[in-house]
């Protein structure tokens, strides 16, 4: 498996091979010298944006099972515009989900966060700010953000999240250190709905349906109107296909709170 560690080792091996080749053949093509570095940088980028790769840190992205069971997760709430509608739909269909919340969106929405908890859904950590440059922070500042988010959730629900989903799903060495030091369980997905760019509910549903399989973890956002439109149809489709919707902590057999 390609990880940050094995990529570092591979780079050293390739550089050693280039050095040896240069000694044997003093005039090497420029691309031979640059190739190991380019390949290494490509691996770093691929690992950062592909949470399922487990490149920097192992993330739980699905369950290994043949049973028809699936977990549904929502990122970026809580928001007054769409989160209540999604909760209404889940309640009507008697389905549980996980909400990976942004800490700075909880202020003023405390009642909504309490409703998420009271109706049996999991509250996860999605950072405090979800800032565009979050991935550029040092590990200490990242961990401070995660703990700040925990503090807000605990002050409202008396529960401290243990499950963490990185903003944008991006990982790097500093975030890996913060996750490990904070004792978090990193959570990914294996169905990326792309509901943030979907043109309509039918397009969204078709994309999701293609990825449905036993043990899947679905990524949605409770910030999107199209998600509200598609959710009832999705839940009905899953039940028709014989799938059971399970809370992610139960699906993966992990504790949701510290």
**Residues with catalytic function:** 75, 221
- At residue 132's C-alpha, the angle toward residues 127 and 133, to 5°, is 90
Q: Which residue has the tokens 């290494």?
A: 40
Domain positions in the chain:
4-49, 69-252
Contact yes or no for 127/102 (Cβ under 8 A)? yes
Enumerate long-range contacts of 180-185, CB under 8 Å, 24 or more apart.
Answer: 180/57, 181/139, 181/143, 182/143, 182/146, 182/147, 183/258, 184/125, 184/146, 185/60, 185/254, 185/255
30 pLDDT higher than 60: no
Cα atoms found within 13 Å of the Cα of residue 175, Cβ hemisphere only: 28
State the chain's mean pLDDT as an integer. Answer: 92
Question: What pLDDT does 170 receive?
Answer: 95
Question: What pLDDT does 26 receive?
Answer: 63
Structural tokens at position 141: 């500042």
- Give, in words, the CATH class of 69-252: alpha beta
pLDDT band at 19 (very low <50, low <70, confident <90, very high): low
DSSP 243: P
Question: What pLDDT does 5 receive?
Answer: 85
pLDDT in tens, 77-127: 999 999 999 999 999 999 999 999 999 999 999 999 999 999 999 999 999
């Amino acid at each position: 498996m390609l990880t940050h560690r094995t990529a570092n080792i591979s780079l050293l091996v390739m550089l050693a091979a280039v050095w040896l080749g240069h000694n044997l053949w003093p005039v090497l093509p420029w691309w031979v010298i640059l190739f190991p570095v380019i390949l290494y940088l490509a691996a770093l980028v691929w690992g950062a944006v592909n949470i399922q790769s487990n490149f920097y840190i192992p993330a739980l992205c699905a369950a290994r099972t043949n049973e028809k069971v699936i977990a549904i997760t929502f990122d970026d709430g809580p928001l007054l515009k769409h989160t209540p509608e999604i909760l209404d739909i889940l309640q009507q269909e008697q389905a549980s989900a996980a909400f990976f919340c942004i800490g700075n969106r909880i202020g003023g929405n405390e009642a909504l966060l309490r409703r998420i908890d009271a109706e049996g859904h999991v509250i996860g950590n999605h950072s405090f700010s979800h800032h565009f440059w979050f991935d550029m922070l040092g590990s200490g500042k990242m961990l401070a953000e995660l703990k700040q988010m925990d503090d807000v959730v605990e002050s409202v629900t008396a529960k401290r999240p243990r499950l963490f989903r990185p903003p944008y799903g991006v990982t790097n060495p500093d975030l890996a250190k913060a996750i490990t030091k904070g004792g978090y369980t990193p959570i990914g997905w294996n169905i990326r709905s792309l509901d943030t760019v979907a043109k309509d509910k039918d397009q969204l549903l078709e994309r999701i349906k293609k990825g449905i399989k036993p043990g899947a973890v679905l990524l949605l956002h409770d910030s999107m109107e199209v998600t509200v439109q598609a959710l009832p149809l999705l839940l009905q489709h899953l039940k028709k296909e014989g799938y059971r919707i399970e809370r992610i902590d139960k699906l993966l057999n992990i504790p949701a709170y510290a």
